[in-house]
Amino acid sequence: MKGDITERSTDAIINTANTMLILGSGLGGAIKAKGGAQIAKECSKYGTIKIGDAIITGAGKLKARHIIHAALTEFDGLITEENIIQSLKSSMRIAKKYRLKSIAVPDLSTGIVRFPPDRCARIMFLFLKDFINKENRYLSTIEIVLWDIETLRAFKRVYEEIFG
């Protein structure tokens, strides 16, 4: 769906984080602005994490209950296919651990870093299809929430190819 992931009322939203968990610009900046400084304080307790790892915090003033911060890159670094896959694995591991029922996922990451939307969609949908078929026990809703119409169009095309 096209929309603002910070407005979703799911159990959790995924933040496309950097390894230092700094909520600077892009989605992280929006989360900090709308959710409050408490989220950044919680992130700072973790220090630096590895690319592909994820942590969970409260969501402050956001409608969601939690935020899963998935480290896709070092601060403003490049994103690779492997980074996306590992970040999704870590995020879904947290979702299982906390028995979350609903989660909102942004594009990982076509925003500031500009990883190609069609490649991102293919990686994400193939991973999620496999996860749903083999590992998912708790999630009943996985929303893909995209900010802009061009990315939405790319994701819809790839979705149709993979899921029919």
The beta-carbon contacts of 44-53 under 8 Å, at least 24 apart in sequence, are 46/21, 47/21, 48/19, 48/20, 48/21, 49/19, 49/21, 50/19, 51/19, 51/83, 51/86, 51/87, 52/82, 52/83, 52/85, 52/86, 52/87, 52/89, 52/90, 53/86, 53/87, 53/90
Q: How many domains does the chain have?
A: 1
Residue with the bigger pLDDT between 154 and 115: it is: 154
Residue 93: is its pLDDT beyond 70? Answer: yes
Given pLDDT bands bounded at 50, 70 and 90, which one contains residue 120? very high
pLDDT tens digits along 37-65: 999 999 999 999 999 999 999 999 999 99
3-state DSSP assignment of residue 78: coil
pLDDT (0 to 100) of residue 130: 94
| Residues paired with 59 in a beta bridge | none
Which are the contacts of 97, defined by CB distance < 8 A and separation ≥ 6?
A: none
Q: Looking at residue 155, which CATH number applies to its domain?
A: 3.40.220.10
Of 142, 139, 76, the closest CA to residue 109 belongs to 76
pLDDT (0 to 100) of residue 135: 86
Mean pLDDT of 63-68: 98
Domain range holding 87? 5-163
pLDDT tens digits along 133-155: 998 889 999 999 998 899 999 99
Residue 26: is its pLDDT beyond 90? Answer: no
Given pLDDT bands bounded at 50, 70 and 90, which one contains residue 115? confident
